[in-house]
Structure 1
Amino acid sequence: MRRSLTEAVPAITWPQGIVLTGYGPGQAEEVHRLLQLGHSQGGGRVPALDVWQQRFETDPEYDPALCFIALDAQGIAGVCQCWTSAYIKNLVVHPRAQGRGLGRALLLNAFKVFQLRREGYVDLKVLEDNVRARRLYESAGMYVVRREPVPV
């Protein structure tokens, strides 16, 4: 899916009690756990912690300033992991924080950051049967640009 960044990004409303921070290696285990939980609900898979962390932190498109961590009183409530190519790699919200607008706030935050970096658009991939995520992305102005078969 894609969203043009030539259009205005709506104002971001963060749910009460949420603090936005960046990623640090000390958060890897908790971020990984949340990604596993999110992928178990929305499809896809996440490699083992050591493999995931090594791949994530050494990827040529990795920039810790593009990994947005939403914290609440209980820990990490959401993660939006982006690449320097204006690509959203992962967007996951913990079940305890779902339904409060956190996913939308993280998504809009990514749009705003890429807009400030003068990117023309932002992309992501989502499984077609992940209806909840697709609705979120479409409500934020994203549209399908290409369908790809999912390897079985």
Structure 2
Amino acid sequence: MPSEAAENDVRLRRMLPGELKPARWPDGFAMRTFQAADAVALYDLLELVFDDGMNGPFGQWWSRLSADTEFDPELCFLVLDGEGRLAGAALCWTSGFLKDLAVHPDCRGKGIAEALLWHVFATFAARGASQIDLKTNLVDNAAAVRLYVRLGMVEVDWGG
């Protein structure tokens, strides 16, 4: 579930299934699900992209994440480049909430975030979910908001 809302934070939702397009991974990139050996790389990507210090040290972050009842490694999608480096990730909760979507700054503009979103939508639709939600900031994350809206997400009340 989302943490408390800050100024300009919004909750966005996409109803499922709706029109679903296949995820198109950029040339040289491939997606797979999370494995425990990926924890450090995922943590490093989240720290780099979000740069907010909210995760705390790796050990604390991993303990919280791995013990969370909503964490399912099969719902954490990683995009790797041709050399096996983590280029992007979508970490979802079992409740149908996209907790984190992150693309490495060196890999932006290639369609990784859009492909991850289409994959997330299709995965949750296949599980029978009626919606997928996320929290974002209209000001600090304006480019991502434009992508979310283009892919059919709309603002909803915080209460659901």
Q: Same fold (TM over 0.5)?
A: yes
TM-score (norm 1): 0.90
Partner of residue 138, structure 2: 128
CA drift of 1:73 comes to 2.6
Percent identical among aligned pairs is 36
- Aligned-residue offset at 1:147: 5.9
Instruction: Tell me what 1:39 maps to.
Output: 50
Q: Which residues in structure 2 correspond to 1:84-95 (within 5 Å)?
A: 84-95=94-105
Greater RCO, 1 or 2 (C-alpha within 8 Å, sep 6+) = 2
Compute the RMSD of aligned alpha carbons. 1.6
1:44 to partner: Cα distance: 7.3
| 8 A contact 2:77–2:90 mirrored in 1 | yes
Q: Are the equivalent residues in 1 in contact too, given 2:47–2:55 (CA < 8 A)?
A: yes
Change (3 A) 1:44 1:110: farther
Greater per-residue helix proportion: 1
Aligned length: 146
Contact persistence 1:39–1:46 (CA under 8 A): no
Q: Which residue identity lines up with residue 104 of structure 1 in the other structure?
A: E
Task: State the match for 1:76 in structure 2.
Answer: 86
Instruction: Mark the runs of 5 or more structure 2 residues left unpaired by the alignment.
Output: 1-11
Secondary structure of the equivalent of 1:9?
coil
Task: With the length of structure 2 as denominator, give the TM-score of the two structures.
Answer: 0.86
Q: Compute the displacement of 1:139 (Å).
A: 1.1
| Cα pair 2:17 2:122 within 8 Å, conserved | no
User: Which one of the candidate residues 57, 60, 63 is aligned to 1:51?
Assistant: 60
Shift of 1:6: 3.2
Aligned to 1:64: 73
Distance 1:94 1:29 in 2: 14
Amino acid at match of 1:39: F
For structure 1, the residue ranges without an aligned partner over 5 or more in a row are none
